Amino acid sequence: MPTRPLLVAAALTVLAAPRAGAQSSPDARIDSLVQSAMTRRLIPGAAVVVVKDGRVVKKTVYGVASVELDVPATTATLFQIASATKNVTGVAVMQLVEGGKFNLDDHVYDLLPKLPAAWRPVTVRQLLSHTSGLPDMILDADKGVWLPGGPDSVIAQLAAAPVKPAGSEWSYNQTNYMLLGMLIERYGGLPYRDYFQQHVFAPMGVTGVVFGDTRSVVKGRATEYTRLGIREGAKQLTDLKAFSYEYPDALYTAAGIFMNADHMARWLEGIARGATLTKQSFGEMTTTVTLNDGKPFHIPDTPMGYGLGWIIMDTPEHRSVGGSGGGRAAVMYYPSDRLGVAVMTNLQASGPESLLEMVAGEYLKGH
């Protein structure tokens, strides 16, 4: 899951992404650009999906799912989308709001039992937008150190921790999404995994999405690697290091979804046609949150804001909304252009955001 520095880096890489030169066709140019970037960045495997005007115009997979076993990546290869999972949770919560189960500005203290009294002011909207001010259940994001135990144990351990005024600032925080998972289960009437499958994915025609991390034994899952800490000047895929990460089960609402290129194509098609939410709800979910001072939140010196589980790029042209995860995957939808783009890789720190912008640029030229 991205920490604030990773979100800032994502914004800067998107803004600095190079534009492609003229070649024969968008598809051919994208293949050449992606393969060249994979060679430079030592990315073993990647999937690129593009949906334009509601239909898939590109679904291409490159490289290998496993370096050591020399297994090629295919459209069925499962990639971890990490914190882009929050997009799915945002949709699920907005569905419950549409269904009258609760309102965005209801206090979570009134919706869930046995929360600390100090958490009383926090609203559902503030959980979704990371403006709750609650203490974070993650102790070290880089090393994957979390408070142990299930939700009740985590809440008990956090009960005496300092709380910032709700809505006063933006701070990326995984406790928010643990509580959102609890809301989904309590008011959706199903375990969150089942709710996602039945109410979010099924209307989009998405089946076979998997929850897990590197502990999970999942057929077709890509092996994951990291370029962090490898020797300077490394040029071979065998110079990479294996990457291991673990998420608590209660946090699979914040990260933990595996998707393949086929899943992602249907997800983007579903977003384009409004398969799971009304236009009004989707618009509210993908609007940059306003803090208590009345100003929309943006990461300083960037157009990057945050909505309700969705990253927002409030650029003057080609505004986009979506998610980024773990330095491995990025998904963005450009509403005015009716363009959806996803890049999934099996390499931590692969720079998927700049790859996505490079791909999107080929379809935004002249618009």
pLDDT in tens, 81-113: 999 999 999 999 999 999 999 999 999 999 999
pLDDT in tens, 55-85: 999 999 999 999 999 999 999 999 999 999 9
Provide, rounded to the nearest whole percent, the portion of the chain with pLDDT above 90: 86
Q: Give me the residue spans of the domains in the chain.
A: 4-41+69-84+207-264+271-364, 90-193
Contact 5, 328 (CB under 8 A): no
pLDDT in tens, 204-250: 999 999 999 999 999 999 999 999 989 888 999 999 999 998 888 99
- What whole-number distance in Å separates Cα of residue 139 and Cα of residue 141? 7
pLDDT in tens, 180-210: 999 999 999 999 999 999 999 999 999 999 9
- What whole-number distance in Å separates Cα of residue 201 and Cα of residue 209? 8
- What whole-number distance in Å separates Cα of residue 346 and Cα of residue 337? 28
pLDDT band for 272, please (50, 70, 90 cuts).
very high
- Would you give the distance in Å from CA 276 to the centre of its chain? 18
Point out which residues pair with 340 in neighbouring strands: 51, 333
Quick one: pLDDT at residue 264? 98
Secondary structure element (H or E) that encloses residue 281, with its range: helix 279-285
- What whole-number distance in Å separates Cα of residue 283 and Cα of residue 277? 10
pLDDT in tens, 309-341: 999 999 999 999 999 999 999 999 999 999 999
